[in-house]
Each structure stands twice: as C-alpha cells, then as structure tokens.
Structure 1
Amino acid sequence: MPARAYAATPHGLIHYAEQGEGAPVILLHQTPRSWDEYRDVLPLLGARYRAIAMDTLGFGASDRPAEEWSVELFAEGVLALCDALGLERVALVGHHTGGVIATEVAARAPERVSALVLSGVPYVDAARRAKVAHRPPIDEVTPRPDGSHLLDLWNNRRPYYPEDAPDLLNRLVRDALNVLDRVEEGHLAVNAYRMEERIGLVRAPALVLCGELDEFSRPDMAELAGRLPGARTELLPGTGVPAVDHRPDLFAAAVMRFLDRLLP
C-alpha cells in the first residue's frame, strides 16, 4: 500500500501518495481526478522507482488556492512539492491536464526534470484555443435538489469509459464531487495555456503516450512529439481517455520501458 502524507508549501498543504525507492517520479492526474487515478500504477512503478502521485492544487485533498487557477499555478505547486520533499531532479509523468502541467514544469525548470512522459496530452495553440472557445463544459453540472446532477456528471463521461468497468467512473465522479463548484476550471486552465510559446523551452527526453481510442488527444500526438526533438511515441491498445486506471499494466510498462533507459 502507498504511504500518504501532506507537504507544507507556500501554496498550502499538498497531499500525495508514494510507493517505492530510487529515482523520484512525480505522477500528475487529469481533471477532475486526484492521486487515486494512479492507485494501481503506484505499486508497479514503485517496484523500481520512488513513485509519487500528488493531488494537484485545488483537487483531491490538496489545499484550494483562492486565486484563478492556471497551468502556471498548478506547475508552481509541483515544484513546491519537490522543494518540500527535497527533490532536486525528478521525472514527470502527466495524463491529460497533468501532462500539460508537466510540460510547463519542464519549461520553467528544465534543470529539474530528468524525463517527461506526456499521456493523452493535447497540443494547445491558438488554433485549438479558438476551436474549444465555445465548446460545452466537460464536467460542469448544475446541482439540483433531487440529485439528478449526479447522473449528468456520470453521463457526461460515460461514452469514454469502458462499460465493463463501472468502478472507473465511480472513482471519477467521487473526485469530481470533491471539487464540484470549480470542476471545470482545470479544463479552462488548459484551454488558456499558451503551450506553443513554452514547449520550446523543454529540454528533457520525452515520451508521448496515448490510448488508441482517445479521440481528444490522439490527433495531436504527431504535432506534440514534433515540438519535442527526439521524442518517442507509443499507443496503448484497447483503451482511451481513462488509460491510466483502465490499463495500469500497459501504462506502467510503457513508462518503465522509457524511464529505464534514463534513470539510475
């Protein structure tokens, strides 16, 4: 079982779970999840590394900043956790929103990032910002006295989750309820991020992963990898948006194949 703890940072308390010893690997979740997204990945990566799954500021059990949420603020939280844990250099693994945050961390502190794994990450440039500017909310629902908004929350994500694994949606809904009043802000932060101005600052070796059924991010794989010289790409078969917790075996194996070449 992973150990769970809080770290005091200038942005408040950040909650994290960790397992294993060795080179540190920070795991960053999608919106609106928590460290729980990596619950089944932690013991697999923890067999070789010090795997640390954190709750992004505002999500899970981490403190909630009062200011407007942004990818830059989330990235500050990652570096603050590294400082609190005395980690000078880390590998970063991020899924969807977590991957965008990882990109910003690697751009602002390239000397502190030894490797970068971006899973299901969109390439956020002016064209994408224009495309999603008027897109309906992904997870935002209006609370109603009869609780029917819970079904709305479920159904919004249901098309992208496997029917034979309802527990995956249970876990997402639980995390979403924890941040229901600001549930869409993680997505809005990604849509506002100027990745095209920041990705050129990344220096870490990179792996671009994506579930083969992830219709949101798979079309961006080539563009994203092309902006990261020497980046490798890999598709995870039989899975889509919930690749991390749907197929933790495939996900962890791909990450380890990449990191084993780079980490002691």
Structure 2
Amino acid sequence: MSIVKINDINMYYESHGEGEPLILISGNGGELSQWKDHITMFSKEYQVIAFDNRGAGRTDKPDMEYSIEMMANDVVGLMDALGIEKAHILGASMGGMIAQSIAFLHPNRVKSLILAVTMMKVSPQANYAAQHAIKNVQEGVDPESLAIYSIAWSFPDEVFENPTAVEMIKKAMLTTLNQQNVHGFKLQNDAASEFNSSSWVSEIKVPTLVIEGEDDIVVPKKYSSREIARNISGSKFISLPGGHMAYLMNAGSFQKHVMDFIASIT
C-alpha cells in the first residue's frame, strides 16, 4: 500500500505478487478493492498493480476537468515511477477506455491489452441517467440515487429477483457513491462522456482480448465490446453471462480467460 506522486496528483496503488506486470484499471467511481478476488488469483503468476484513478478512492480528486487521455497518462506515469517498461493492461468499463488510450498513445508500453465490459463511446441514454442521479445526490434530493442507478444499469434481471442481495449491493455501493465522493464520480463521468475511440481503435496493434457481458445494457451496441473486437485486427473475443458486472460475477471464468490469454503472449 503506497502513495506516489504522478503528474499533478498523489496516487494510491498496491503491488501484489511477482512476475510480469499486470495493471488493473477500474471504471467510473471504482476503487481498487473491487479487484480483490482477481488480485488473489492473478498475483499467483504476475506482479499485479492496482490503483485508484484520479477522482476516486485514496487518490487525489483535483477539482478540474478530467479526460480519458489524462487518466491514461496517469497510468503511464505510475509505470514510470515503478520502473515498469511494458505491462499487460487490463481495464474494465471506463478503465477499458483508459486502456484503449494507453494502447493507442503508448503502444510500446503495452505487452497485451484486456478490455472488459467497455465501449468506444458512452451511451447517451446511460449518461443522461447518470447525470440526473449525480445531480440528485449533490443537491441532497436523493442521497441513494447514484447507487440505485449503478445497480439498475450494472446487474442482470436475476439479481433483482433477490431483494436481500440488492439491498446488500446498494449498501456496499453507498460507501463509495456518497455525498463526499460523488464530485469525483461526476468528473470521471464527464471525462468518459467525451470519449470516442471509434475513429482510431482499429489502429491498436497490440495483442488484445475483449470480454463482454452478454446482457450488458450500459454499452451501446454500435460501440460495444463486440464492435471493438471486430475493429482490432487479430483480437480475441469472449462473451460472459450477465450484465456490466459480468467480469466480477463470473470471477473464475474471467480469470481463466485472462490468464490463458496472457500465457499465450510470447
């Protein structure tokens, strides 16, 4: 558990295990704790680096305009600080946007690319709902609005058949998506809403694995994981059951696909 100065922020990160570096990049509002189970498995074979993006967790949350390119440069700055020349880069959701940008802007730093439940462009529908949920929390109208939004858009129907499970998930999300942290969530959300890789994603040439949640309603079909895979020559595509959290809800299968893919990279 460490803090390192990267660009204009103090970034919180953790390093686990030994071997080739594998960097995990979280989505909007996510903290590295979401990777806990994956870190346990991946660190058996690799040096796993997980961190909190600017605007989230224990990393600084400067009140300024963010961009996905800015956050990609934060990751490269972390690699520089840790003396990592090249790494396997795994990003989920907004983290996958950041990972795409790293592979496009800094291809020499990427040994392989794993893109989970991500997209080339944010759905205007999902962004509209997020902006209103954020506004409700910031104005104190509905402190739970953003957590409810996140659950509704992230989990498949079967989860909602169990009210106890939904309530547990909501309580867990409220610890992150609360009044204190929602401004950082908004800054990240605004950055993601401006991202569009559709004009350049086909220029990514590093070995790439793309993983979708087959019932993911966050990701617009036109800009989906499936379309990313179609545009990146030679990429491998996997579909997992579930929605936007498929990479967490199918942890064992996700881990196997990722580790088999990385092992195939020479």
Q: Structure 2 length normalisation: TM-score?
A: 0.86
Aligned to 1:230: 234
8 Å contact 2:137–2:144 — kept in the other structure? no
Counterparts in 2 of 1:31-46, with a 5 A limit? 31-46=28-43
8 Å contact 1:16–1:52 — kept in the other structure? yes
Amino acid across the alignment from 2:75: V
Question: How much is the aligned-residue C-alpha RMSD, in angstroms?
Answer: 2.4
Aligned to 1:250: 253
Q: Give 3-state SS (helix, strand or coil) of 1:41's partner.
A: helix
Residue 17 (str. 1) matches residue 9 (str. 2) = no
Structure 1 range deviating more: 66-75 or 186-195:
186-195
8 Å contact 1:107–1:200 — kept in the other structure? no
Task: Report deviation, 1:228.
Answer: 0.7
Aligned to 1:7: 4
Counterparts in 2 of 1:1-264, with a 5 A limit? 4-124=1-121, 131-132=124-125, 135-137=128-130, 139-143=133-137, 149-159=142-152, 160-161=154-155, 162-163=159-160, 164=162, 165-166=165-166, 167-177=168-178, 178-217=180-219, 219=221, 220-237=224-241, 239-262=242-265
Aligned equivalents of 1:30 and 1:144: distance in 2? 20
Task: Report deviation, 1:11.
Answer: 2.3
Residues 143 and 90 (structure 1), Cα distance of their counterparts in 2 relative to 1, 3 Å cut: same
Q: Give 3-state SS (helix, strand or coil) of 1:184's partner.
A: helix
Q: Which runs of 5+ in 2 are unaligned?
A: none
Aligned equivalents of 2:88 and 2:169: distance in 1? 26
Task: Report deviation, 1:176.
Answer: 2.0
Task: Report deviation, 1:137.
Answer: 2.2
Task: Report deviation, 1:25.
Answer: 0.5
Task: Report deviation, 1:193.
Answer: 1.5
Amino acid across the alignment from 1:92: I
Structure 1 range deviating more: 243-252 or 27-36:
243-252
Q: Could you give the per-residue CA deviations for residues 62-82 of structure 1, whole angstroms, max 9, x where no partner exists? A: 112333111011111101100
Aligned equivalents of 1:133 and 1:152: distance in 2? 14
Q: Structure 1 length normalisation: TM-score?
A: 0.87
Residues 119 and 218 (structure 1), Cα distance of their counterparts in 2 relative to 1, 3 Å cut: farther
Aligned equivalents of 1:133 and 1:144: distance in 2? 18
Structure 1 range deviating more: 47-56 or 172-181:
172-181
Q: Give 3-state SS (helix, strand or coil) of 2:96's partner.
A: helix
Aligned equivalents of 2:129 and 2:169: distance in 1? 23
Residues 215 and 142 (structure 1), Cα distance of their counterparts in 2 relative to 1, 3 Å cut: closer
Task: Report deviation, 1:132.
Answer: 4.9
Q: Give 3-state SS (helix, strand or coil) of 2:243's partner.
A: coil
Q: Give 3-state SS (helix, strand or coil) of 1:175's partner.
A: coil
Structure with the higher helix share, 1 or 2 = 2
8 Å contact 1:211–1:218 — kept in the other structure? no
Q: Which runs of 5+ in 1 are unaligned?
A: none
Amino acid across the alignment from 1:203: K
Amino acid across the alignment from 1:262: I
